[in-house]
Amino acid sequence: MEASLLIHPSVGMTKPGDVEYYVRVRCYEAVLSKYPKDTVKLSLLPLAMRMGGPREAVWHAIIRKNYGCSHFIVGRDHAGPGKDESGKPFYDPYAAQQLLESYQEEIGITMVPFQMMVYLEDKDVYVPEDQVPMGSRAQNISGTELRARLSEGREIPSWFTFLK
């Protein structure tokens, strides 16, 4: 099979409170059915997260290049450890994108930046934070908040509109 998209999640140890890998894998498997047959491949990467932020993003890009990828999606705070004891983010939210952008030519992989998604209550959709229309009320649901809602069985605002 020669797929056009490799979904390649790390399934090793992560930070406390993260969604367990088998739950994440089941979510990926559910999404696979939305793609045309033989266009996507799911392959698990047995790699523990180091929470190394920008440097780890570069390492992840090298790994994906070695698997034959030409592009690599890097989101907000990629592999970041979160906030320090004073509540300040350890890394700038887009530091990983900035560092990888400076090495992508040398590595031979194109970085695809992914903005943080926010929920627009008035439109009942999720959009990248840099595409919020003037006057719209955007709600930020952090990864920590999302994991808490999932583990407690609380509602996630129109999450399925994001998946369409």
Element (H, E) at 71: strand 71-74
* Residue 164 banded pLDDT, cuts 50, 70, 90: very low
The maximal CA–CA distance of the chain, rounded, in angstroms, is 49
Helix (H, G, I), strand (E, B) or coil at 70: coil
Identify the pLDDT of residue 136.
87
Identify the pLDDT of residue 162.
46
- Give the tens place of pLDDT for each residue, 115-158: 988 888 888 888 899 999 998 888 887 777 877 888 888 887 76
Residue with tokens 């840099």: 130
Phi, psi of 72, rounded to the nearest 5 degrees:
-145, 125
The answer to whether 138 and 129 are in contact (CB under 8 A) is: yes
